[in-house]
Structure 1
Amino acid sequence: MGLSFLALIAAGTLLLMLPFATQSGEGAPFLTALFTTVSASCVTGLTVENTALYWSMFGQLVLLVLIQVGGLGVVTMAVAVTVASGRKVGFMQRSTMQEAVAAPQLGGIVLQLRFILLFTFGCELLGALLLLPVFVRDYGWCEGGWLALFHAVSAFCNAGFDLLGERAGGSLMAYAADPLVNLVIVALILAGGLGFITWGDLRLHGRHLSRCRLQTKIILLMTAVLVIVPTAIFYMLEFPELQGAARFWASLFQAVTPRTAGFNTVDIETMSDTGRLLLVALMFTGGAPGSTAGGIKTTTLFVLLATMASSLRLKKDVELTHLGRRISLETVRRALTIFLVYLVLLLLVTVFISYHDSVPLMDAMVETASALGTVGLSIGLTEHLSSVSQLLLCGLMYFGRMGALTLIYAMHTRREPVPRRLPEGAVTVG
């Protein structure tokens, strides 16, 4: 799967370097094309050039394709092409796709593929139709239709690329108080971030939530908490210049978009350090497994919190009393590994960028968390960073899209014999 994304990045970079991919007709420099391609295919949204002003219609179309393929996954699209051509889907393709979408079992993977494609294109089309009246009103039928489609795809795939440029004050800031735009974009972000397997489970069991898989219940619970609590915090602490409904919409949007879409309806440069730290925490968390979102995933955070709660209650097992289940030790170890790998990368790259480019530590942390979580939120720092720092961010975007365990397991393709267990050693912690 990692090699497939590298091939997609290489193809996208070459296409964006073509003369007619830019407004100037000169083609993009290699680093600009590479950074933009990595950001689009890894559905991040960080940019070194203004998307609306720098790229031509052809360049924007390339970006849209990269976002769509990156959001669904290269393997998913390859299997879709195989099915459409009438060829048989091999075991290796089925197994790789199962890993890509976090499916619980290998059986029925082709049927799940059809559901994923129909659900994705259905959500994007519906989102584009709902956004159409607003953009047609402001930009006319031709440009307005393109803007509605592009932003619907970008939102569902949690990419965060926008084509409004400075005309809207940056991203979706011109629509900060528009209920329709806020609701549609937020709904698309959440739909893409919940994960295809979650939606498949909900479709199967309908209103009987109690029959859903444990993972589905955890994802829904964590999503609700990570929307409601940050919205309340932002409403109380941030955006004093806004009042009433406008302040609520701004708070809700900024609570949802860091996981991990990258749009913004307010200038995050004006946010306090408290607000920025909350953004970093949300970007670090991300969405659900097998979704278009990045981050450590909501299930990972839940497992860590459940482990802490069980330890505080002196429980030997990690028990979910209200759900009647316990979490295995292997799952706890994986969650802890993912958390620590992401945390170490976040801190190391933040410190490096802050020192190497002489920028404030919090500013560097926002950009780093945005790249690692494949978010795309920026305080306008990325385009001013050195080439080394930009390449580091490219590496983080790729890592964040692939996932920690995927890359770690890829480096251990051959199973080693289980070694004998060493004697336990006593270590005092805390």
Structure 2
Amino acid sequence: MTKIKLTPPQFLVVVFLSFILFGTLLLKLPFASNEPISWTDALFTSTSAMTVTGLITVDTGTAYSVFGEMIIMFLIQVGGLGIMSFAILIFMMIGKKIGMRQRMYVQQALNQTTIGGVILLVKRLFIFSIIIESIAVVFLTLRWGPEMGWGEGLYASIFHAVSAFNNAGFSIWSDSLMGYVGDPVVNIIITFLFITGGIGFTVLSDLWAKREFRQLSLHSKLMLIGSLIINVIAFLIIFIFEFNNPATLGPMATGEKIFAAYFQAVTPRTAGFNTLDIGSMEDPSIILMLLLMFVGGGSASTAGGIKVTTFLIICFAVFTFLKGKYEIVIMRKTIAPHLLVKALAISTIGLAFIFSAILLLSITEKEAPLLTVIFEVFSAFGTVGLSMGLTFKLTVIGKLVIIFMMFIGKIGPLTLAFSLARQSVENIRYPKEDILAG
């Protein structure tokens, strides 16, 4: 019998699809829901949880039982930290040798450039997640325990801590976190969780090992500085545009306005929680959020999008061209040309999928405003989970389109392309010739 040999990208796609289908079957069990759930909605929820997106077609807190919510939480944790990471952890626990092929799978799953150090990264990944989520659970329980009872408060804290750290955006409350728009504890803890999870485990590992900014790798420096700049600019823009909006920041006190603007500025980086009604925000704020959702978080993180470093490489390439130079130099380091090619490929393939999905949804969801459709697609591709209210109204075909976009956004457009394409090594070099561009 002939064995089917899968490349790392193909293996990752197959395993991911298997977990999504397994989650769908579990969510269809009679005791997993409080009301009849269709196969499409179960598949949608399972995909949204595994891709840590957070878009929902049925209300999580009312449609699913505690068992169903625990299944969703399990899928979020596995999807956020990575299937192969859990597999490696099990291998280490039972004392099984981790071979070269397993290391290659982890390298692909965590988007690492080399095989070396991937096992150490997996170990640190689990240590980081356990410590950070546990600390968050303590603080959130102290906040919610007296309000809703210690048992229910603890459960809500665990669910939201797991969801936030993995940038999933799932909430057991129908209005997400809108009831805590001005609450300092909830705002600080939840944003700390999804910002930390979205920076990337490579950066966290680098910080743990070196602890001084000047000793960090160029990737870590770009992620930290880039994230800070993007978050500050986004906060200022949303604060200005929404300041007098009667449906969002308008009626609030200054302190609440600051917290609300800050939360909405950082949540499009694939977190998915919201403390304001997204559908009531001004169009300029929505357009800014489209860009933030497309950029996303960091490589080897729980976040989606094309990634901050991909976006920065393209930006620096533009600046380099405008200055009349040909080599991209960042912080006195020259960026290899193939990284620019990769960045352009990721962005172009991503935009192609987004355009195709918008085109399909504009046909199937004829009653929805175009901006609402565009927002839904960007949210799905960036595995963000924010919505302007379209998700609950999607047709069956519309749901399938969004399911596909969430899947693409999580595994990455290049991984899907590599899993479908035949890879070949080309040793022949051809003569160069210029073409007219621009």
> Which amino acid in 2 is paired with 1:117?
F
Report the alpha carbon displacement of residue 339 of structure 1 after superposing the two structures with TM: 1.0
Partner of 2:246: none
Aligned with residue 370 of structure 1, among 345, 365, 379 = 379
Would the alpha carbon gap of residues 108 and 327 (structure 1) be closer, same or farther in structure 2, given more than 3 Å must change? closer
Partner of 2:319: 309
Partner of 2:346: 338
Map of 1:45-194 to 2, 5 A cutoff?
Answer: 45-165=54-174, 170-194=175-199
Report the alpha carbon displacement of residue 105 of structure 1 after superposing the two structures with TM: 3.3
Partner of 1:284: 294
> Which amino acid in 1 is paired with 2:364?
H
Within 1, Cα distance between the matches of 2:426 and 2:209?
41
Within 1, Cα distance between the matches of 2:420 and 2:394?
31
Aligned with residue 413 of structure 2, among 398, 404, 408 = 404
> Which amino acid in 2 is paired with 1:48?
T
Partner of 1:264: 274
TM-score normalised by the chain length of structure 1: 0.95
Report the alpha carbon displacement of residue 380 of structure 1 after superposing the two structures with TM: 1.6
Contact 2:364/2:397 (<8 A) preserved:
no
Within 2, Cα distance between the matches of 1:95 and 1:103?
9
Answer yes or no: is 1:329 the counterpart of 2:329: no
Contact 1:351/1:361 (<8 A) preserved:
no
Q: Which runs of 5+ in 2 are unaligned?
A: 1-11, 243-248
> Which amino acid in 2 is paired with 1:152?
A
Report the alpha carbon displacement of residue 99 of structure 1 after superposing the two structures with TM: 2.3
Within 1, Cα distance between the matches of 2:63 and 2:158?
19
Map of 1:347-358 to 2, 5 A cutoff?
Answer: 347-358=355-366
TM-score normalised by the chain length of structure 2: 0.93
- Could you give the per-residue CA deviations for residues 74-107 of structure 1, whole angstroms, max 9, x where no partner exists? 1111111111111111111111112222334323
- Could you give the per-residue CA deviations for residues 107-132 of structure 1, whole angstroms, max 9, x where no partner exists? 33322222110111111111111111
Within 2, Cα distance between the matches of 1:202 and 1:43?
25
Partner of 1:427: 436
Within 1, Cα distance between the matches of 2:255 and 2:321?
42
Would the alpha carbon gap of residues 428 and 378 (structure 1) be closer, same or farther in structure 2, given more than 3 Å must change? closer
* RMSD over aligned Cα atoms: 1.3
> Which amino acid in 1 is paired with 2:206?
D
Within 2, Cα distance between the matches of 1:267 and 1:66?
27
Name the stretch that deviates more: 293-302 or 270-279: 270-279
Within 1, Cα distance between the matches of 2:437 and 2:72?
52
Contact 1:102/1:197 (<8 A) preserved:
no
Aligned with residue 201 of structure 1, among 203, 206, 215 = 206
Aligned with residue 233 of structure 2, among 229, 233, 241 = 229
The secondary structure found in structure 1 opposite 2:334 is strand
> Which amino acid in 1 is paired with 2:23?
G
Within 2, Cα distance between the matches of 1:300 and 1:389?
29
Within 1, Cα distance between the matches of 2:403 and 2:412?
14
Task: Percent identity, please.
Answer: 35
> Which amino acid in 1 is paired with 2:202?
I
How many pairs align?
Answer: 420
Q: Which runs of 5+ in 1 are unaligned?
A: none
> Which amino acid in 2 is paired with 1:338?
I
Aligned with residue 12 of structure 1, among 23, 34, 43 = 23
Within 2, Cα distance between the matches of 1:115 and 1:341?
32
Within 2, Cα distance between the matches of 1:350 and 1:415?
33
Report the alpha carbon displacement of residue 401 of structure 1 after superposing the two structures with TM: 0.5
Report the alpha carbon displacement of residue 383 of structure 1 after superposing the two structures with TM: 1.6
Would the alpha carbon gap of residues 414 and 311 (structure 1) be closer, same or farther in structure 2, given more than 3 Å must change? closer
